[in-house]
Structure 1
Amino acid sequence: MKIAIAGSGAMGSRFGFMLHQAGNDVILIDKWDAHIKAIQENGLTVNYNGTEKVINIPIYRPDEVKEKVDVIFMFTKAMFLGSMLEEIQPIIKEDTQVVCLLNGIGHETVMKQYVSLENMLIGVTIWTAGLTGPGKIELEGTGSTEIQNFKPGGEEKAKEIVKILKDAGLNGIYSEDVKFSIWRKACVNGALNATCTLLDATLGEMFETDQAISITKNIVNEFVQVAEKQEVQLDFEDTVEYIIKTSHELGHHYPSMHQDLMQHNRLTEIDYINGAVARLAEEYGLKAPTNALITELIHAKEQILNAK
């Protein structure tokens, strides 16, 4: 199985590493020159549950990849999904399966412009990963990866990819309702990512504050209302409990948005998480003031830090 990871930051590198370790033929695709150079010259350095490993794995810029691949896992930042898909069009053949595992909501709208519906898979992963420098990632804990074919009739191919993920230790799951899981993860990210970024705090530090539960409930309430309009039923109490549980299990972890903005001075995916809920709420005639304010605050923080 020839596999490409399009967007090989922290999470993309995690998947590339684990799929490579399982014996798959894997290539990484990225645009960060320092990251590419480090991996090409020194390999990918992985701190895996406290043990350091170095693997030699090919990495290319999007315009350098010419070989046919069977499966592409998309791990770009949400705002770069379209540009990446456009640049890698030469390797997306009529039978290439493209799996979108990005944070946020609504990526299928972009995917449809570049990938046939028969070859589209959408999903969600709750693994974590940290990028500690060019060519260096830190991995710990456990997680799962849930996917579903976008168009009915693609179940068999989707389940083949699920098996590949299982064999690589990525705990693949075939979903009958991945849209629910995508919305639930987006809600978790909406409650944790931006708040920890604004507070410059880990998940645990955030939930040690007296305000954490109140803030979380306000965010979740707006997500629940908008999700219902999207025919997704998120249970308010269950979702709040799940977020609290996540914060306890990963208390020392800085979420990906904090890693992007505070640690690497990069633009965030806020418009595809809290911003998406605020935008959809307005379209549906609802109000989402908490998510709208959080989105504005993150954009202000990006400008203050001159994020790129």
Structure 2
Amino acid sequence: MDITVVGAGAMGGSYGGLLAAAGNRVRLIDTWQDHVDAINRDGLRVDGAHGEHRLRLAAATQPDANETADIVLLFTDTNGTADAARTIAGILSPAGFVVTSQNGIGNVETLEDVLGEGRVVGGSSMCSAATIGPGHVSLTHLGPTSVGEVRGGSSDRVDAFLAALEDAGFPSKPAPDIMAEIWQKFVVNCSANAVAAVTGLRSGEFVDIPDLMDYRVRVVEEVMAVLDAKGIALPDPELIKRICSGGRRMNRPSMLQHIRMGRKTEIDTLNGALVREAKALGIPVPYNEALVALLRGRELAQRRAVHEPDLDYEAWEASFTNADAA
């Protein structure tokens, strides 16, 4: 199978690397120049749940305009979905399609706006991964991957892609209603990602602070109130019980990883999207609103700490004082 991975960070690199190890032809596209350079120089290192691999793969920050892609596996941050869609439009073959396994909601719609109906397949991955450094990713947890046609059911192309995932070692299943699976992952992400990013804690540490677990439960209750109002039923009826009881999986959610690197997070397509949906429905969601506000503050503080470490706050304050005096 010929696969182009757009967004070859922690998740995209893990999937792309293991698909290549299983014999597929894989190309990697990622905007992080140091990562691309390391892959082209030393190969992609993938370790973790499926052992250690060093794979010689072609990587670039932009696709070759002379090449076409039959299958694109999209793992970019949701902030980059629109740009990624335009990139994909330039390389997708006439019968090609893109599988989106991104976080958040709205990605399918954004992709279809650019690529057209029928060119997008939905996916939901419950794996976890981390970027260790340029050219090095780790698959930290191996969970199920669901894939399905966005308007319901499976198809020959979905079945073929699922078979490739299974051969690469990813437990996979067809999803009769992939949009419900995407909403289900949205619930999981809303319950953990921003909480981890604001506090700096891994998911498995939440249970050590009862007040924090209570807050998380309130966040989930608000999410479910919105889904109930929209008539969305989760495929896993036990999910909410498991979330609210906590767990000891010591993964670092992607939003926590983004915060530590001083990057923009996906809050707008997770809890931020929940707040927008709630306002449209007239449903109060104060716990999610507070979480979004705190996350935005944490994001700004860390971005300045990483990218402006020499910022002189006293001089900055003085500039405002002088401006007011003038």
| Band of TM-score, shorter chain | over 0.9
State how far apart, in whole Å, the 1-side matches of 2:190 and 2:293 are: 13
State how far apart, in whole Å, the 2-side matches of 1:40 and 1:226 are: 45
| Residue equivalent to 1:305 | 302
State how far apart, in whole Å, the 2-side matches of 1:201 and 1:189 are: 15
Aligned partners of 2:222 and 2:288 also within 8 Å: yes
State how far apart, in whole Å, the 2-side matches of 1:234 and 1:152 are: 15
Q: 1:160 to 1:239 in 2, by over 3 A?
A: same
TM superposition score normalised by structure 2: 0.88
Aligned-residue CA RMSD in angstroms? Answer: 2.1
Q: Secondary structure at the match of 1:216?
A: helix
Equivalences for residues 1-308 of structure 1 within 5 A: 1-49=1-49, 51-151=51-151, 155-234=155-234, 238-244=238-244, 247-248=247-248, 250=249, 252-262=250-260, 264-306=261-303
Q: 1:304 to 1:146 in 2, by over 3 A?
A: same
One-letter code of the match for 1:66?
N
| Residue equivalent to 2:321 | none
Measure how far apart 1:134 and its partner are: 0.8
State how far apart, in whole Å, the 1-side matches of 2:25 and 2:225 are: 43
Number of aligned residue pairs: give it. 305
Measure how far apart 1:75 and its partner are: 0.3
Q: 1:126 to 1:245 in 2, by over 3 A?
A: farther
TM superposition score normalised by structure 1: 0.92
Aligned partners of 1:105 and 1:272 also within 8 Å: yes
Q: Secondary structure at the match of 1:96?
A: strand
Q: Secondary structure at the match of 2:69?
A: coil
Q: Which protein shows a greater Rg? A: 2
Deviation string 1:120-174 (CA, Å, 9 cap, x unpaired) is 1112100111101111112233211101112468622212211111121112211
Q: 1:235 to 1:149 in 2, by over 3 A?
A: closer
Aligned partners of 1:189 and 1:273 also within 8 Å: yes
Q: Secondary structure at the match of 1:94?
A: strand
Q: 1:283 to 1:27 in 2, by over 3 A?
A: same
Q: 1:236 to 1:51 in 2, by over 3 A?
A: closer
Aligned partners of 2:207 and 2:213 also within 8 Å: yes
